[in-house]
Amino acid sequence: MSATMNVTLRIWRQKNRHTKGRFVDYPLSDVSPEQSFLETLDVLNNQLEARGEDPVAFDSDCREGICGTCSLHISGTPHGPMKLTTTCQLHMRSFRSGATITVEPWRARAFPIVKDLIVDRSAFDRIVQSGGFVSVKTGSAPDANSLPVPKANAELAMDAAQCIGCGACVAACKNASAMLFVAAKVSHLALLPQGHAERKERVVKMIARMDQEGFGSCTNLSACEAVCPKGISVNFIARMNREYLRAGLTG
């Protein structure tokens, strides 16, 4: 067992979307480097609750980096300092003992704050509703092997389909753009023959909805790719732009 650490968590507290928020410092001692960042928040919350104080509200569920529920801007970076790692997979060994760690919610117009560190990401659901699917009814599918898909395409589609919808890309972008999120879904479905029939309509509708939700335009700085816990490549944005052009040209 390695020695324990002391850290100070500087956490954004905000009662709801109508009130003003502020940072509050919480010093914690005896933190194990083996424990995850969210477990550190659990420990803090347990202490707060035992004193009858409101715990820090934050989202998490799977705690294994796949559901996309956890968020958090940690010391200035969405999901904290480790590359390809969600907040729930981050461990205290990534921090120095004695450090002050700033913890904030995602900041974006299209993601209003609900409470403390929780934001409302339902805009993503509405973007998918606008066209992020294949229109196939239950029961109407042909045999799965009737349509071969070249392995390379299937792999590339999977690279895009891995998006967990956490919103880090939006949080990292100066313009709070959702291009990487939308591009991942557009590319996943455009790369597979199953998605071809609705290809043009899909990209046009999803982009329109994205704009309507108040996400900004792409900065071309790739800040999104740098923080994406699944390593989704900005090449998919280029692919989406081509899809969009193509839809316009042949529309």
Partner 1 sequence: MKLDSKIPSGPIQDKWEKHKFETKLVNPANKRKYRILVVGSGLAGASAAASLGELGYQVDVFTHNDSPRRAHSIAAQGGINASKNYPNDGDSVWRLFYDTVKGGDFRAREANVYRLAQLSGNIIDQCVAQGVPFAREYGGLLDNRSFGGAQVSRTFYARGQTGQQLLLGAYQSLMRQAAAGTVAIHPRTEFLDLVVVDGQARGVITRDLVTGKIERHLGHAVVLATGGYGNVFYLSTNARNCNVTATWRAHKRGAAFANPCFTQIHPTCIPVTGDHQSKLTLMSESLRNDGRVWIPKKKEDRSKDPATIPEGDRDYYLERRYPAFGNLVPRDIASRAAKQACDEGKGVGSSGMSVYLDFAESIQRLGQPVIAERYGNLFEMYERITAENPYQKPMRIYPAVHYTMGGLWVDYNLMSTIPGLFVLGEANFSDHGANRLGASALMQGLCDGYFVAPYTIGGYLASNAFKGVTSEHDAFREAEQAVDGGVKRLLSGRGKRTADDFHRSLGKILWDKCGMARNAAGLTQAIGDIAALRAEFRENVIVPGEGGDLNQALERAGRVGDFLEFAELLCLDALHRDESCGGHFREEHQYEDGEAKRNDEAFAYVAAWEHAGAGKAPILHKEALAFENVHLATRSYK
Residue 229 CB, shortest distance to ligand FES, in Å, is 8
Q: What residues numbered 193-232 form the site for partner 1, per CB under 8 A?
A: 194-195
| Burial class (CB within 10 angstroms; exposed 0-12, middle 13-18, buried 19+) of 25 | exposed
Q: Which of 8, 75, 77, 85 binds partner 1 (CB under 8 A)?
A: 85
Q: Which residues of the shown chain bind ligand FES in the complex (CB under 6 A)?
A: 60-63, 65-70, 86, 88
Q: What residues numbered 147-176 form the site for partner 1, per CB under 8 A?
A: 147-151, 154, 157-158, 161-162, 164-165
Q: How far is CA 97 from the centre of its chain?
A: 28
Residue 226 CB, shortest distance to partner 1, in Å, is 18
Q: How far apart are CA 175 and CA 210, in angstroms?
A: 13
Q: Residue 209, Cβ neighbours under 10 Å: how many?
A: 20
Per partner kind, with CB cut-offs from 5 to 8 A, the member of ligand FES, partner 1, none near residue 177 is none
* Among 105, 108, 78, CA closest to 21: 105
By CB under 8 A, tell whether 78 contacts partner 1: no
Residue 177 CB, shortest distance to partner 1, in Å, is 20
* Among 62, 61, 65, CA closest to 80: 65
Q: How far apart are CA 21 and CA 176, in angstroms?
A: 20
Per partner kind, with CB cut-offs from 5 to 8 A, the member of ligand FES, partner 1, none near residue 21 is none
